[in-house]
Structure 1
Amino acid sequence: MRPFISPEIICRYHRFWHSGRICLAMIFALLLIHLTQIPHGVWMMVTIVVVMGPVSHVGGIKGRAKQRFMGTILGALAGLFPMLIPGFPFWLFMIWIVAWVGASSYYALGRNSYAALIVGLTLVIVTGAGVVDLQPAIWRTTNVIIGDVIALVFSGVFAHRAHDHWRYLLAENLRDFMIFYKAQVTDMPLRESHIEKLLGGVKERLNIMRGLQAPLRREHSIYSPNGNAVIAEQRRILSTLELIQKTRVFSEKGHRCIVFLHQLRRQKKELVGKMDLLYQQIYQHGVVSSQDFQFDHLSLVKQLRKSDENEHVLSPFGYIWLNRHLSEQLNRLYQLLPKRDYPQDEPLEQVEKSVTHEDALGKAGVDLK
């Protein structure tokens, strides 16, 4: 069954959906406070904004809510402890607060930084800057916990999953790789402005993918184990494509060698087709089927040697090596992606029946950023 709103729409306009989720959570909290007349309900709304505000992915919100919950409990216990002891000296009470705030500040620069920060913040909220009052402290703690639960529940409304966002970013990069390489195959070079736009889009998406690694792990995504390796391999592919684009044949004879190598053109077209299939499979299903990214460079080298018996032309050999290197990188990228065997009766839908440079570059302007 298809979802009511496709994950792609949620990912592409994730800021809009993120804002809507927080607004719905705030409306629910306001109604709950109004109907129950719960004391100190403002801390419930503060918790919702703090937990949901900086992150939009389900995995990020879960991790943040977990840390806030742990920090709240520990901070509340630390704050309530001196209140529960009759005759606790005020000077010792102040030392207790300062020691806990200092410890939370120290660990706030570590791994669970948010939880450590919340310990100190909750401690100050519960103790009320030294005003010993048990009942408000308990209500503040209760409101923070309720706010955590509300944030977790509403994070599943039109859920923005890092898994889907990462997958569509990967698909966008594969599409741009295909467009970039296709321009070399069809002898229709892209303008410099188009090249900068494509390369800039790929680099920006790679940075976003790097930032999604932590939410991926929390969502137990199938991309999480090899996520960093996939990003690194994409960077290598991008570098190779730039080298292929910048490679120039330094002699007229070398240029003729490349132009009349029909087998090279055929292999490049096959490689474009495989790149297109890889893009469509990731875009539609998030997994790939069995493929073979082989590039028969030996036969091409033999043909060049036969045609250049009296003159050594280096550039065509380097150009062939770069294409072979690209096929090897694509194969390594394919090995890192999750696999699936597609049944014969489940053909892939054609995502883009005819990708022209203009259409593709137009799409590249509205990537999932």
Structure 2
Amino acid sequence: MSVFSSASPFSLFIYRHIRIIHVIKICLALLIAHLINAFFPVPYFAWTSVTIVIIMLTLPQVGGALEKSIERIIGTISGACYGIIILLLTHNPLLIALLAMLGIAITAYRATSKMGYAYLVAGFTLIMVLDGGRQSFNEALWRTGTILLGCIIALLVSLFVLPLRARNEWRWQLAESLRRMGQIWQAHLSPNVVKPLATRNMLKGVERAIQRQRSLHKSVMIESKSMRHHGDILEELVAAQTRCLLLLELLAQTRWENSRSALVIHELFSLGFAGRELGQDMYELSRFCAGFSDLLPPSRQELLVNYKKEIQLKLSEQSSFYLNANGYAWLVYQAGLQMEHINSLIRRITLATDLTNETKSSSW
């Protein structure tokens, strides 16, 4: 099954009500934690609730919660073990302080690298366990245990209660980006347009969708085994959308500087034709990514090659040189190349995920 296969009504329902469901899940996780504490009271229970909120508050997706839970568990266990070892080795406050500073120095040095959150958690868990050397061994274990309990509750609720899949949000954000770019593209190249379009809000909408895709990459790869080895394609897809967005923004600011240039542009029949074809392709790509269509638009490489030839021919025939018109035609061509590149990247993702799933099925 492709990553862009038809979405279930249940998945669409979750995505459309993601904020409400997210609030419900956090409240449910906190309720579970407090019910456990009501029947089995434990010391330092507040850390369970704090952990649940930290993990779930800004990461509603399963992949995000899984990533943060794993890093928090690793950091908690590492920091707690180091702190407990210090307590077992010595009761000298000065030596405890020196060993604690060594641990904090290591975590601070590694906090901006890969697994940075795990190092951050390890650092404050170490301080929490030691607490100036006054805490006993049992108290250190209780503090660690309540944090781990919070991680487990947050993870289980994220996985099994109305799971919010990062993969689904990523594909729908991609579809939204393509849909908006297609709208801007077709509207701007329409021969009926007689004045500049107000594209600022539409462009900002595309930018938000692209940024959201970028923030979801790691969660998508954690959730989906079929996407795990294709992070380079996801990154290039974001880069291609960013370039396309920049070109669309330049197009919106270029066309209307000179009325004579506008007349030359309107004479380019292939420009309007290419605009309609590529704009329709973006719309079809959007429907495919959202799971509303099983058909990918065809490659437009030949169309772009012919368009480039016509631009070159038009330049050679011109008696006067309209820099704005020719620059505008070049921008259209470059934007078309990026759209074709986006199409090819989506094809690669589709084929890659299909092959991965077929391999799994055959192995069974």
Instruction: Check if 1:6 corresponds to 2:11.
Output: yes
Aligned to 1:104: 107
Residues 60/335 of structure 1: CA separation in 2 closer, same or farther (3 Å cut): same
Aligned AA for 1:274? Answer: D
1:200 paired to 2:209: no
Q: Aligned partners of 1:258, 1:290: CA distance in 2, in Å?
A: 27
1:176 matched to 2:153? The reply is no
Deviation of the 1:142 alpha carbon: 1.8
Contact 1:167–1:286 under 8 Å retained in 2:
no
Q: From 138, 141, 155, give the equivalent of 1:138.
A: 141
SS of equivalent to 2:10: coil
Using the TM superposition, name which of 256-265 and 273-282 deviates more: 256-265
1:10–1:160 CA contact under 8 A, matched in 2: yes
Q: Once the 2 structures are TM-superposed, how far is the Cα of residue 113 of structure 1 from its aligned partner?
A: 2.3
Q: Quick check: 1:233–1:333 contact (8 Å CA) kept in 2? A: yes
Q: Which amino acid aligns with 1:110?
A: S
Q: Which of the numbers 31, 35, 41 marks the counterpart of 1:31?
A: 35
Contact 1:68–1:114 (8 Å) recurs in 2: yes
Whole-angstrom distance in 1 between the partners of 2:97 and 2:266? 82
TM-score (ref. length: structure 1): 0.78
Distance 1:190 1:139 in 2: 71
- Residue identity opposite 1:339 in structure 2: T
> Structure 1 225/10 Cα, relative in aligned 2: closer, same or farther at 3 Å?
farther
Of 122, 125, 132, the residue aligned with 1:122 is 125
The residue that corresponds to 2:307 in the other structure is 297
AA aligned opposite 1:235: T
Structure 1 residue 66, shift from structure 2 partner: 1.1
CA distance in 2, matches of 1:286, 1:140: 52
Match of 1:231 in 2: 238
Instruction: Name which of structure 1's ranges 292-301 and 29-38 shifts more when overlaid on structure 2.
Output: 292-301
Structure 2 residue identity aligned to 1:64: K
**d(CA) in 2 for partners of 1:51 and 1:310?**
66
Aligned to 1:332: 341
Query: Which stretch shifts more, 259-268 or 102-111?
Result: 259-268
Structure with greater proportional helix content: 2
Q: Are 1:268 and 2:275 counterparts?
A: yes
Cα distance change on mapping 1:151 and 1:258 into 2, 3 Å = same
Given the alignment, which residue of 243, 247, 250 partners 1:240? 247
Identity among equivalent pairs (%): 26
Deviates more, 1:217-226 or 1:43-52: 217-226
Unaligned runs of 5+ in 1: 342-369
**Deviations 1:110-166 (CA, angstroms, capped at 9, x unpaired):** 332221222222223323432242222222222222211111111122222322222
Q: Which has the larger radius of gyration?
A: 1
Q: Is the contact made by 1:264 and 1:300 (CA closer than 8 Å) also made in structure 2?
A: no
Alignment correspondent of 1:344 = none
Deviation at 1:225, TM superposition (A): 3.0
Shift of 1:92: 2.8
For 2:328 and 2:151, locate their aligned partners in 1 and report how far apart those are by CA, in whole Å: 57
Which residue, out of 283, 287, 290, partners 1:283?
290
In the TM superposition, what is the alpha-carbon distance from 1:197 to its structure 2 partner? Answer: 0.9
Gaps (5+ residues) in structure 2?
A: 1-5, 353-364
Equivalent residues of 1:249, 1:316 under 8 A apart: no
The answer on whether the counterparts of 2:91 and 2:133 sit within 8 Å (CA) in structure 1 is no
Distance in 1 (CA, whole Å) between partners of 2:25 and 2:94 is: 45
- Number of aligned positions between the proteins: 337
Cα distance, 1:188 vs structure 2: 4.0
Cα shift at 1:4: 6.2
- Asked if residue 67 in structure 1 is aligned to residue 71 in structure 2, the reply is yes
Tell me if the contact between 1:5 and 1:158 (Cα under 8 Å) persists in the aligned partners. Answer: no
Report the Cα distance in structure 1 between the residues aligned to 2:66 and 2:49, rounded to whole angstroms: 17
CA distance in 2, matches of 1:324, 1:31: 62
Cα distance change, pair 151–88 in 1 and its aligned pair in 2 (3 A)? same
